[in-house]
């Protein structure tokens, strides 16, 4: 049994009917399961988590990308989250019976089809990147949709697949294989974006923070607060609890409390176990003592026997 996870991000978080139409491309497809989806009004962005067998999953991702291109016009899109495409990014993550090289091959196959059939420029990122300066998604996305019309003219930003012109309404898309990433946001009890910007700078790697943290400041106007929005690219080496405590201490310098946190999409169970172990000060604790974890392990073993 081969299972791959994908977490496509779409640049629409306000029109539920549009998001549901995109998600419907995966409904009822044999070998593909929708685990979770969410919308964010301030970010104006949706995140969908899917798992499935490689071939049907790739077909679903292509159809979702096609539908997003039909329904989303980036010329009319505004949101707090940086974006460059109607379908902004499509990561592929090895889960069961697969490995990173296989997911790299799958990402190239999907990218080629999107570029050729949908006429949308595609950039390979993370483990699939064809050039070191394209590994980091934020570097590819820099300039966003509006800036890409000029950026794409630079030979160093020639797309890996598809036309060398930005799609007029759907922009460009990044596709790549990567490890599990946790989208972890921390809300601050203030409306001063400059405070969130200082804290984001303190924790993100490129400005001297944690090695596996990408962070930006976001103004949540609907809620009257600001947020440190993060991608945790290796929760084992940069744990959620350690980053949260750093943000809490940094916020205290400005007399600002942490008023809540959120996880967008799915999260590995081990990340939550590590967090519980830290805050509960548990000694000698392991996943084998979590009932649901044991049940899932038994089911996985039984499934492997049946497939032999």
**Active-site residues: which are they?**
81
CA of residue 130 relative to chain centroid, distance: 20
The region, left, alpha or beta by phi > 0 then psi within -120 to 50, assigned to residue 255 is left
Q: Please give the angle made by the CA atoms of 114, 65 and 146, to the nearest 5 degrees.
A: 85
Q: How far apart are the first and last CA of the chain?
A: 9
Taking Cα atoms as reference points, which of 188, 134, 136 lies closest to residue 158?
A: 134
Report residue 190 as tokens: 């203030």
Using DSSP's 3-state secondary structure scheme, residue 217 falls into strand
The region, left, alpha or beta by phi > 0 then psi within -120 to 50, assigned to residue 31 is left
* Residues found in the chain: 308
Nearest-angstrom CA–CA distance, 120 and 166: 7
Using DSSP's 3-state secondary structure scheme, residue 255 falls into coil
Report residue 18 as tokens: 């549009």
The runs of H, that is alpha helices, within 193-290 are: 193-203, 240-252, 269-279
Nearest-angstrom CA–CA distance, 87 and 85: 5
The runs of H, that is alpha helices, within the chain are: 16-23, 54-71, 100-118, 137-141, 144-151, 193-203, 240-252, 269-279, 291-307
For strands 225-232 and 182-188, give the pairing.
antiparallel
């Amino acid at each position: 049994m081969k299972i791959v996870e994908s977490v496509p991000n779409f640049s629409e978080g306000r029109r539920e009917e549009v998001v549901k139409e995109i998600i419907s491309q995966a409904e009822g497809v044999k070998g593909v399961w929708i685990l979770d989806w969410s919308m964010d009004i301030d970010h104006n962005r949706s995140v969908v988590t899917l798992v499935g067998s490689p071939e049907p999953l790739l077909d679903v991702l292509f159809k979702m990308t096609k539908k997003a291109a039909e329904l989303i016009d980036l010329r009319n899109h505004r949101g707090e989250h940086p974006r460059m495409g109607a379908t902004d990014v499509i990561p592929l993550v090895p889960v069961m019976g697969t490995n990173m090289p296989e997911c790299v091959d799958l990402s190239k196959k999907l990218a080629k089809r999107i570029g050729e059939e949908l006429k949308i420029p595609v950039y390979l990122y993370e483990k699939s990147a064809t050039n070191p300066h394209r590994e980091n998604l934020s570097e590819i996305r820099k300039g966003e949709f509006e800036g890409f019309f000029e950026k794409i003219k630079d030979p160093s930003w020639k797309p890996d697949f598809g036309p060398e012109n930005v799609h007029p309404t759907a922009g460009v898309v990044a596709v790549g294989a990567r490890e599990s990433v946790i989208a972890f946001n921390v809300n601050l009890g203030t409306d001063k974006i400059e405070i969130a910007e200082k804290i984001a700078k303190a924790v993100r790697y490129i400005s001297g923070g944690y090695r596996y943290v990408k962070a930006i400041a976001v103004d949540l106007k609907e809620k009257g607060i600001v947020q440190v929005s993060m991608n945790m690219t290796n929760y084992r080496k940069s744990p959620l609890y350690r980053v949260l405590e750093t943000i809490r201490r940094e916020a205290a310098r400005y007399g600002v409390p942490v008023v809540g946190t959120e996880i967008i999409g799915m999260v590995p169970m081990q990340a939550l176990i590590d967090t519980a172990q830290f805050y509960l000060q548990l000694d000698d604790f392991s996943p084998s003592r979590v009932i649901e974890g044991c049940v899932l392990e038994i089911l996985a073993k039984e499934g492997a026997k049946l497939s032999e």
